Amino acid sequence: MASTRLIRSLRRNYPHNLVPHFANPRRIFSPKSPFPATSSNLQTRSYAEIPQSPSPKTPQNPTLPNHIGKNDSSSSSSTEKTPFSSSLNDSEIAKFAAIAETWWDSEGPFKPLHLMNPTRISFIRSTLCRHFRKDPYCARPFEGLKIIDVGCGGGILSEPLARMGATVTGIDAVEKNIKIARLHSGLDPLTSSIEYCCTTAEQLVEEQRKFDAVIALEVIEHVADPSEFCKSLAALTVSHGATIISTINRSIRSYATAIVAAEYILNWLPKGTHEWSSFLTPEELVLILQRASISVQETAGFVYNPLTGRWGLSDDVSVNFIVFGTKNKQ
């Protein structure tokens, strides 16, 4: 009975001409789509072909200095120094400042990201190697590439990118996140060269910084203005460079799983971590990126297997999804 009501609800909320978008995320626009697009058919390939990157051995949680400790006044969200940006959402920054010390606790609030990280890295490795003509099977395929991790948090993505040879810059608007990231990266010689900055994409645009690849994973749903945020990402990307964004779809299924289940039943995330109304559909994200001069080439979904406790790539973009795009040549 419940499944019947869910199906009826889906039919009411999603017009029939949008159904193919969820069946095949790499064909994002149907012929009758109301969204303009430069190309309706994106590159199709089997996600089973994506080479899986070796799971890096994550160093244990570092012992934090007292000035980053819970009892220190600098750890309070009320004293958190936040760089200015028109796309920043102060309430979202406060949420993450409150749990910054748990970034490298694989059983803490960021457990879902730790579980998802190998799959995210596999997609990044595959798409960037194909775009920049790199060997995805070598140990350091990103050698010679400048990559920025926007909204880097404690560095759980920046560090694997550095180990794969990239020159990595990680930025975050939460000062305590940057302190944690710097401290942890210093534990491994392969990651100690990462440049961590408490700043925003907009501020780096003003400094005229440029990168071969710009990556923002699970960030756009927390910003105040997604359009301005994507414009900043595009401005940081070199001509014909790469942009990769992951987020959560605004669907009934995402409300049930990413909010109700993850935050209130399974307690994977602190309650209130996500606002369903802030999620973007794949169509909306593609349109925003197109207006920012980024052409989306590939989209994939993330699915969780409760039997194995692992995430995998899929054509199902009804909840978590990731897009790879290239900046239009100028």
Annotated binding site for S-adenosyl-L-methionine: 120, 151, 172, 217
Contacts for 264 with CB less than 8 Å, ≥ 6 apart: 271
237-248 sheet: strands from edge to edge: 195-197, 167-171, 146-150, 211-217, 237-248, 320-327, 294-305, 310-314
Binding-site residues: 120, 151, 172, 217-218, 221-222
* One-letter amino acid of 325: G
Binding-site residues for Mg(2+): 218, 221-222
How far CA 300 is from CA of 138, 181, 275, 303, 306, in Å, comes to 24, 28, 22, 10, 19
Q: At 154, list the tokens.
A: 């404690």
What phi and psi values does residue 140 have, to the nearest 5 degrees?
Answer: -130, 70
- Per DSSP, 139 falls in state S
Which sign does the torsion angle of CA 32, 330, 202, 269 carry?
Answer: positive
Task: Specify whether the CB–CB gap between 176 and 184 falls below 8 A.
Answer: no
Alpha-carbon distance of 35 to 273, in angstroms, equals 30
Burial classification of residue 82, based on how many CB atoms lie within 10 Å of its CB (0-12 exposed, 13-18 middle, 19 or more buried) = middle
Q: At 61, list the tokens.
A: 């949680």
* One-letter amino acid of 272: G
